[in-house]
């Protein structure tokens, strides 16, 4: 005797489910438990992504500050170091503390800016490495 196929339209239980329970109550609360388990991982991933954004922003700030400082020092009359430092730090947010140096290398005035990368929130803790930006501009005059 061959097995008979189930009647058309009859709902079969999914593999691994008990056939005697009502259809709507099998996974009650499962989504909440899964979300509660995943929530710390979601927060961790958001923190990692935010930290990557801060690292990239610090690179952008260092490069721009070096460029501004080099151009100001190359065009300065009298005190190129002061002009370089003022121009390099003018557009930096207050939480980013910069170390600026503007040596003259041949006919090129270079600006070197070192910024510490903040941990999650600017102004609190810093990562143990420094982002450096370097730019140069030809001396004028």
H helix count then E strand count, the chain? 2, 4
Q: Is residue 130 part of a domain?
A: yes
Q: Is residue 8 part of a domain?
A: no
Closest of 52, 43, 69, 64 to residue 118, by C-alpha = 52
Quick: pLDDT tens for 56-88.
Answer: 998 999 999 999 999 888 888 888 888 888 988
| pTM of the complete model | 0.71
Q: Is residue 132 part of a domain?
A: yes
For residues 4-26, give the mean pLDDT. 61
Lookup result for tokens 């009359």: 77
Q: In angstroms, rounded to a whole number, what is the distance separating the alpha carbons of residues 38 and 51?
A: 20
Q: Is residue 32 part of a domain?
A: no
Q: Is residue 36 part of a domain?
A: no
Quick: pLDDT tens for 81-117.
Answer: 888 889 888 888 888 888 898 888 888 888 999 998 8
Q: Is residue 28 part of a domain?
A: no
């Amino acid at each position: 005797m061959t097995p008979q196929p189930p009647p058309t339209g009859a709902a079969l239980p999914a593999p691994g489910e008990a056939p005697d329970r009502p259809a709507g109550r099998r996974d009650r609360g499962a989504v909440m438990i899964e979300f509660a388990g995943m929530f710390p991982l979601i927060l961790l991933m958001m923190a990692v992504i935010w930290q990557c954004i801060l690292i990239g922003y610090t690179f952008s700030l260092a490069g721009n500050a070096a460029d501004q400082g080099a151009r100001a020092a190359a065009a300065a009359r009298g005190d190129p170091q002061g002009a370089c430092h003022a121009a390099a730090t003018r557009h930096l947010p207050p939480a980013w503390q910069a170390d600026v140096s503007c040596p003259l290398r041949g006919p090129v005035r270079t600006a070197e800016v070192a910024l510490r990368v903040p941990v999650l929130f600017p102004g609190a803790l810093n990562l143990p490495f420094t982002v450096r930006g370097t730019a140069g501009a030809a001396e004028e005059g």
